[in-house]
């Protein structure tokens, strides 16, 4: 009887050590991944050329992926961008209409006139629309402020 009790106690100790080691290893791996993401600072990367000739751009920084696709970039009609935000840890609770600006190469600033996406959650997408810019504009810069405490900057030549 005493022998069975010792075997049970020894088994519980071995099981506890194994579980503790597993928790330690998993915690170390998660901590390393979070550190890598927080310290990365990547410029927007051109991902794919869209039918209108402008490249879709993506920025992955501070645990949030932001993808911007220019739908219309013209001085003759409203400028329009399709925007997708994805994360698994940051609450996307800001309206892109309030935190985004479009700037042309002459320094003119354009505020959005509409945003079709929502706010809140971890996966948001919609279209952001601006008034037409000057007809002699050569490039534009879209800035989304403080998504995951990082400003996202996307640039296109016209």
**pLDDT value for 19:** 62
Q: How far is CA 68 from the centre of its chain?
A: 10
What's the pLDDT band for 151 if we cut at 50, 70, 90?
A: very high
**pLDDT value for 6:** 63
**pLDDT value for 23:** 47
Residue 83 neighbours by CB under 8 Å, 6+ apart:
66, 67, 68, 69, 96, 117, 125, 126, 127, 128, 144
User: What tens digit of pLDDT does each residue of 2-41 get?
Assistant: 666 666 665 655 555 556 555 444 444 443 333 332 323 4
- Report pTM: 0.68
Residue with more model confidence, 113 or 75: 113
**pLDDT value for 138:** 96
Whole-angstrom distance, CA of residue 67 vs CA of residue 60: 9
User: What tens digit of pLDDT does each residue of 39-94 get?
Assistant: 234 556 655 555 668 999 999 999 999 999 999 998 899 999 999 999 989 889 89
User: What tens digit of pLDDT does each residue of 84-109 get?
Assistant: 999 989 889 899 999 999 999 999 99
Distances (CA, A) of 121 to 65, 86, 91, 92, 101: 14, 9, 6, 6, 22
Inform me whether the pLDDT recorded for 118 exceeds 70: yes
**pLDDT value for 34:** 36
**CA gyration radius, the chain:** 24
**pLDDT value for 43:** 55
Inform me whether the pLDDT recorded for 123 exceeds 80: yes
């Amino acid at each position: 009887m005493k022998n069975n009790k010792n075997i049970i106690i020894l088994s519980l100790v071995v099981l506890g050590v194994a579980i503790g080691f597993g928790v330690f290893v998993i915690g170390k791996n998660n901590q390393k991944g979070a550190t890598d993401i927080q310290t990365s600072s990547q410029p927007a990367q051109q991902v794919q050329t869209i039918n209108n000739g402008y490249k879709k751009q993506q920025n992955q920084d501070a645990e949030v992926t932001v993808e911007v696709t220019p739908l219309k970039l013209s001085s003759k009609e409203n400028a329009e961008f399709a925007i997708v935000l994805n994360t698994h840890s940051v609450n996307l609770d800001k309206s892109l209409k309030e935190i985004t600006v479009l700037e042309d190469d002459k320094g003119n600033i354009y505020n959005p006139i509409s945003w079709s996406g929502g706010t809140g959650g971890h996966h948001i997408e919609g279209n952001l629309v601006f008034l037409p810019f000057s007809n002699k504009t050569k490039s534009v810069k879209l800035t989304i402020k403080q998504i995951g405490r990082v400003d996202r900057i996307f640039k296109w030549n016209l």
